[in-house]
Structure 1
Amino acid sequence: RCLSVSVLCLLPQSALARWACVRACPPSCSCTQEKSCSVLCDRAGLAELPREFPCEASAINLEKNRLKFLSERAFGTLPSLKSLSLDHNNISFITPGAFKGLSNLLELKMAHNEYISYLHTRTFTGLKKLLRLDLSDCNLFSIPDRIFIEQTAMTELLCFQNNFRRIPGAIRGMENLTHIYLERNKIEAVAYNSLQGLGSLRYLNLQENRINVIHDNAFQDLVRLENFYLNDNLLSNMPRLAFRGLSRLKMLNLGGNQLINVSKTWFGDMAELEVLYLDRNQLLNIEEGAFENLTSLITLHLNSNNLTTLPLSVFQPIYFLGHLYLFKNPWECDCGLDWLKQWMESYKLVRDIPCASPSSVAGLDLSQVVFPTANGTCVDPAELNLTTASSEVQPTTENRFNSLISKLLQQELREEMGNGTESARNATLPEPEEGQLSAGVGGRGTQAVQSLLCFTVTWLFCGLFHLSHAS
C-alpha cells in the first residue's frame, strides 16, 4: 500500500528520493539509491524496454539484453538521467526522436550492437548536452553529415570497429571534441578537410585502417593534438609537411606501415614529442636532421625495419634519450656503429642489436663486436685477418685455442724431432715421411706421441672451457 501524503512529508529528502527510486523500479531490474538513483537492468533477458523508469533515475544500465527496437520517446521523460547504456543488445533500428525527453543526458553507450547499420539524421534529436557517444563495434558503413548538429557540446566520440571507408564528415567543425576513436575501420584516406575545425582535439586514433593516402594539410587544424595513432595502415609515403603545426604532440605512432624513408621535414614542429614509433615498417634510410628538433624525445622505436646503419650525424640530436629499440634490423656492424656500441656500454639503455654483416661477426650482438684500431683509426671487422695474432687485433676464442694447441704440438715435436725451427716458422705440423717418428727417436717416439695426445686432449677440454668463458 502507498504511504499517505502526510507521512511522506515527514520523511527526510534523501529517504524520500530513495523510496521513490525503489518504488518505481521496473520489473526484472534493481534500483539503488546512493548519491543518485541508478536503475540496473543488465543481463535481465529483456526483449523490450520496460514501460516506465523512475523519474529520479540518473543512470540506466540495459546492457546485455535482447532489445531490437527503439521507438520514438522510448524512455519517456527523464530529466535527471545522465547516463544510458544499451551496449551488447540486438538493436537494428532506432526511430528518429527515440531519445527525446532525455534533455540532460551526458553519456550514451550503444556499442556492440552488430545489427545497427544505419542511423537517421534525427537519431539523436533532443540530446543537446551529450558529451560522450559510443557507437563502437556496430555495423555502420557511414553516418549522415548533419547527425550531430545538436550535439555541439560533445567531447568524446567512439566509433571504432565499424565499416567506415572515410572519416565521417559529421565530425567536421565540432570544436569541443577532444577524443575521437576510429580504429579498426576500413578508412582509406585522410582528405584535406576530413579533420577540419577540430581545434580542441587531443586524442585521435586511426590505427588498423587501410589508409594509404594523406593529403597535404590534413592535420593543420589539430593544434592541440597530444596523442596520435596512425599505426598499422598502408602508408608508404607522406607529404613533406604532413605534421606541420602539431606542436603539442606527445606521442606519435607510425608503426606497422610500409614507410621506406624518414623525411627530415616530418617532425620539425614536434619539440614536445616524447614517444615516437617507427617500428614494423620497411625503413632503409633516415634523413640527416630528421630528429634534430625532437628535444623532448624519451622513447624511440626503430625495431623491425630494414636498417643497416645509423649514422651518428642522424642520431646525435637525441643522443641522451631514455629508451631506444633497434632489434630486428639487418645491422652492418662496421665502424659506422662503433659510436652506438660505446653509447650502449655507457648508458645501458639499449640492447639486442644482432649483426647481419660483415660475415666475420654475423650472428653476434653489437655489444660483442670488438672494433680495434690501427694507427688510431677504427678497423672494420671485415678487414681483420682473424687467423693472425696481433697486439692490435683481439683474436676470437676459437683462433686463440687453435693457436695454443698448435704451439703445444710444435714445442713437443721440437723436443722429440729437432725440427722446431721450420715448424714455428710455418705454424703448421710437417708431414713426416713413413716411419720417420720411429726411426728418428726410437722407442721414445711412441712415448712422445702418447704423451702428446694425452696432453692435447687435456688442453682440448680444459683450455676450451677456460677460453670460451674468458672471451
Structure 2
Amino acid sequence: MATALVRWLVLGLLAATASGQAVQQCPGQGEITPCVCSVKKNGLDIMCEFTDFTHITKALGVLKKKPNMVIFYLKLRHNNLPKLQSFVFLGMDIRHLTVHNSTLAVIEESSLSSMGKGLTQLDLSQNLLNSVPSTAFRNLHHLLILNLNHNKIIALHTKAFEGLDTLEILTLYENKITSIDPEAFKGLEKKLKRLNLGGNDLHSVPQAALSILDNLRKLEIHENSISIITEGDFEGLSNLDSLGLAYNHLREVPARVFSHLKLLNSLELEGNAIARIDDEAFVGLEENLQYLRLGDNNLHSIPSNALRKLHRLRHLDLRANNISVVSEDAFSLFGDSITFLNLQKNSIKVLPALVFENLNSLEILNLQNNKLKHMPEELMEPIVDTLRVVDIMDNPLICDCQLRWYKDWLKNLKDKDDDFMQKKNTLCTMIQEHREYTVQNIPLDRMNCIGKNIMGRSSQTTGNSIKTQPESIIKIGFAICNLIYWVY
C-alpha cells in the first residue's frame, strides 16, 4: 500500500513538471534568516521584516540560486533600506513586490528592470521618495497596480509613468503634491481605471493632465485644498463611474460642473464648506447618478431644485449640515428611487405631514440628533411599509399618542426576525410625569389614545373609555336619537 502511494506521488510530481508547473519549495530552515518563507498556491511568499540591506541581500542571494523559483510575494517591510541598488533582483521571478515603511529614498535605474516580464504589483508605500522614480519603472510592461501612498512626492513631472502602459490602478494618497504636469499621465491612457490623488496639496483640479484618461472609472481627489470647481474641469473623463471630492474647501457647486460625466454613478462632496448648490449643478448626471454624499457642509436647506433632475438617485446623505426647515415638496419628483436618506445632525424641528409622500422605496431613514419633538403617525404612514431602519435617537421627543406607530412598527419588524432596531435606545419624555421612557415602552395604557394606528390595528382607551369599533359608534348613535325623541 505504501509503495503504491509513493509511486502515485512520484507520478503526480512528474506530471506537474512535464506540464510546466514546477513544484515550489521553500529554502531549508535558517537559510534565509531573518526572512521567512511559506508556500502559496501560486508560488512562494517571502517576508523580510525589521532588518537591513545586508541581511536582505544575503537572503536574496540564496533565493537566486534556486532554479525555476516563482516568488509570488516578496514583502520587505519595516526595514532599514534607504536604496534599491541596480540589479538587486536580477535572476528572480517576482510577481508582487512590496517595499513598505523601509526608509526607501532612492531607486536606481536598473534595480527593477529585470522584473519587467513578471511583476504585476508594486507597493512602495510609506517611504521617503520625493519624486516618481520614472527611469526605474520604464521597463515594467506588465505592471497592473502601483502604490506610492505616503511618500514625500511634491510634483508629478512630464511622462512620470512612461512605460507603464498596462497600469490599471495608480495610488498617490498622502504625498505632498502641489503641481501636476499636463503630460504627467502620458502613456497611461489605454488601461488606467483608478487614480487616487487624495491627501495632497492640490489647489485646483488638474484638468489638462486628467483629460487624456478617457478609460478612467474612479478618480479620488479628496483631502486636498481645492476651493473652486468649474464647468470643464472634468472634460475628457467620459467613462468615470465614481468621483471623490470630499474634504476640500469648496463653498459652492456651480452650474453644469459635472456635465461631461454622463456615466457617473457615485459623487462624494462631503466635508467641504458648501453653502450653495446651483439649480443646474447636476445637469448631465440624470441617467446614472445613484449615490450622492453632501454631508458635513453648510447647507441651510435641502437643494431640491438641483436634485429633482436625479430620478435614479438611491442614496442621499445630507447629515451634519445646518438644515432647520424641510419643505413639504422637498423630495418630490426625485424621491421614488431613494432607499437611503440621512438627515442626522441637523437642526430640524418639524417635518411637514406629506414630506415623505414620494419616497416609495425608502428603507433607511436617519433623523438622529435633530430637534424633533413629535413624530406624527400621518408623517410616517407613506413609508412605514418599506422602512427597515428609522433612527430617531437624540431628539427631544415627547411621549404622546403620535408615537404609538413606532411601537407597533417595531413589533412588526420583530415578527419578521429583524431585531436590529430593537437595540436602539430611543428615549422620549412624559411631560406629565417629568420622566423618560424608551419609545418602545411608552405607557400607552395611561395616555387615552383613540383611533387606529398606521399598522392597521384598532386602538382604545382603558377603563370606561369609549371603544372605537364601528358597532359601538352605531349603538351610541341610536341611543342619542332615542333620548332626543323622548325628551321632546
TM-score (structure 2 length as normaliser): 0.67
Could you list the runs of 5+ residues in structure 2 that have no partner in the other structure? 1-17, 23-66, 74-83, 415-420, 453-461, 466-488
3-state DSSP class of the match of 2:233?
A: helix
Aligned to 1:307: 372
Alignment of 1:312-461 (within 5 A): 312-320=377-385, 321-348=387-414, 349=421, 352-356=425-429, 358-366=431-439, 367-370=441-444, 372=446, 391=463
3-state DSSP class of the match of 1:41?
A: strand
Q: Deviations over 1:234-263 (max 9, x none)?
A: 111133322123233222211111111223
Could you list the runs of 5+ residues in structure 1 that have no partner in the other structure? 1-10, 379-389, 394-471
3-state DSSP class of the match of 1:355?
A: strand
Matching residue within 23, 42, 56 for 2:100: 42
Q: Deviations over 1:301-332 (max 9, x none)?
A: 11110111122222111112111111111113
Aligned pair in 2 of structure 1 residues 39, 306: CA closer, same or farther (>3 Å)?
Answer: same
Aligned to 1:128: 189
Alignment of 1:211-226 (within 5 A): 211-222=274-285, 223-226=287-290
3-state DSSP class of the match of 1:200?
A: coil
> Is the contact made by 2:107 and 2:133 (CA closer than 8 Å) also made in structure 1?
no
Aligned to 1:235: 299
Deviation at 1:216, TM superposition (A): 0.5
The two structures, once aligned, show a CA RMSD in angstroms of: 3.5
3-state DSSP class of the match of 2:195?
A: strand
Q: Tell me which amino acid in the other structure corresponds to 1:299.
A: I
Aligned pair in 2 of structure 1 residues 86, 187: CA closer, same or farther (>3 Å)?
Answer: same
Deviation at 1:229, TM superposition (A): 1.5
Matching of residue 261 in structure 1 with residue 325 in structure 2:
yes
> Is the contact made by 1:229 and 1:254 (CA closer than 8 Å) also made in structure 2?
yes
Q: Tell me which amino acid in the other structure corresponds to 2:178.
A: S
- Looking at structure 2, the residues matched to 289 and 173 of structure 1 have their Cα atoms a distance apart, in angstroms, of 42
> Is the contact made by 2:97 and 2:122 (CA closer than 8 Å) also made in structure 1?
yes
> Is the contact made by 1:21 and 1:32 (CA closer than 8 Å) also made in structure 2?
no
Aligned to 1:139: 201
- The structure that is helix-richer by fraction is 1
Aligned pair in 2 of structure 1 residues 302, 30: CA closer, same or farther (>3 Å)?
Answer: farther
3-state DSSP class of the match of 1:314?
A: helix
Deviation at 1:375, TM superposition (A): 11
Matching residue within 330, 337, 341 for 1:276: 341
Alignment of 1:58-69 (within 5 A): 58-69=120-131
Q: Deviations over 1:150-193 (max 9, x none)?
A: 11110011122211113475324522111112222222211112
Q: Tell me which amino acid in the other structure corresponds to 1:117.
A: T
What's the % identity of the aligned pairs?
27
> Is the contact made by 1:153 and 1:176 (CA closer than 8 Å) also made in structure 2?
yes
Q: Deviations over 1:257-297 (max 9, x none)?
A: 11112234333323222221111110112223221222221
Aligned pair in 2 of structure 1 residues 61, 306: CA closer, same or farther (>3 Å)?
Answer: same
Matching residue within 224, 234, 240 for 1:177: 240
- Looking at structure 2, the residues matched to 32 and 392 of structure 1 have their Cα atoms a distance apart, in angstroms, of 90
Matched pairs, number: 369
- Looking at structure 1, the residues matched to 295 and 200 of structure 2 have their Cα atoms a distance apart, in angstroms, of 22
Matching residue within 152, 156, 181 for 2:214: 152
3-state DSSP class of the match of 1:171?
A: coil
TM-score (structure 1 length as normaliser): 0.69
> Is the contact made by 1:243 and 1:266 (CA closer than 8 Å) also made in structure 2?
no
Larger Rg: 1
> Is the contact made by 1:240 and 1:263 (CA closer than 8 Å) also made in structure 2?
no
